Amino acid sequence: MGSPVSIGLVAGCLVWIPVTIWIVALIGWMIQGEVDVLIGFCGLALGVGIGALAFVSRNQEIAPYLLFASISMLLIVPLIRAFANKRELAQMDVEQIEKGYDQLDEKPDNVGAKFRIAKMLYQRGAVEQAVAIADKALEGLPKAIFEDEHRTVRTWKRTIVNAKATQVTCLRCGASNKLGDLYCYRCQGPLMLFYARGSWVHPVIFRRVLIVWMAAMVSIVGIPLAAANLPAGKSTPAVFVLLMITVALGFLAFKGIGNTE
């Protein structure tokens, strides 16, 4: 028994530290309802799987890789949670825009609905779009009655540092629309709803992080595992297959770049 074996043994035991933290945290989140049951159980299975591999694997050289995998599992958790939280908030804001459009469906000249949309855009930093929509909504309306609205728009205008947006591209048909338009002139779609979905909610980024992590796990854990445990004749094709899976996952992760869906 040389020193690599004992290093492997130590790493094999250490694996259980991040795995235990992971399991305790996951169960806590599942009880609090922060993580849904399916994802929770998948995560638990993954943790237990990594921990069990560290014990079962006859080849102790694999243990450091498993240790690395389990630590990375812990590091990715706050990242995933931050993405999920941000996404949830964005989803709520998009719903406000949706509500505004629903109101406009019922009553196309509903100033309140237009302001609901404009306010959300303003809050999200699309100041110029917000001002343009609000200005257009107030066009020809008596100042005395819509005093508050006029004041709001004046305050918004003061926050524009340097105007740069001149048009809004429709995310459905690609047409360039004038700032302040609520519906696409070409496809008649709810222009600012497309805009909100496209620029506030980023499911692609969220998915990409997960896929890249999975790809890293396949190559960091799977490849040394296959190389160490399979007989020579089988390990080469197995490693090749795992490499292909990693490449495929990497391709999947970056395929969506530039896609706003």
Q: Which residues bind Zn ion (CB under 5 A)?
A: 170, 172-173, 175, 184, 186-187, 189
Instruction: Tell me how many degrees the CA angle 111-128-101 measures, rounded to the nearest 5.
Output: 35
In terms of CB distance, is 186 or 255 closer to Zn ion? Answer: 186
Rounded CA separation 241/247 (Å):
10
Shortest approach of Zn ion to residue 185 CB, angstroms?
8
Q: Is the CB of residue 182 less than 8 Å from the CB of residue 194? A: no
Rounded CA separation 137/105 (Å):
15
Shortest approach of Zn ion to residue 242 CB, angstroms?
44
Shortest approach of Zn ion to residue 225 CB, angstroms?
50
Rounded CA separation 224/54 (Å):
13
Shortest approach of Zn ion to residue 133 CB, angstroms?
16
Shortest approach of Zn ion to residue 175 CB, angstroms?
5
In terms of CB distance, is 19 or 94 closer to Zn ion? Answer: 94
Shortest approach of Zn ion to residue 198 CB, angstroms?
12
Q: Is the CB of residue 124 less than 8 Å from the CB of residue 93? A: yes
In terms of CB distance, is 117 or 217 closer to Zn ion? Answer: 117
In terms of CB distance, is 189 or 198 closer to Zn ion? Answer: 189
111-123 and 147-158 helices, crossing angle to 10°: 20
What tokens appear for 191 in the block? 């222009």
Rounded CA separation 173/187 (Å):
7
In terms of CB distance, is 44 or 175 closer to Zn ion? Answer: 175
127-138 and 111-123 helices, crossing angle to 10°: 170
What tokens appear for 227 in the block? 């190389």
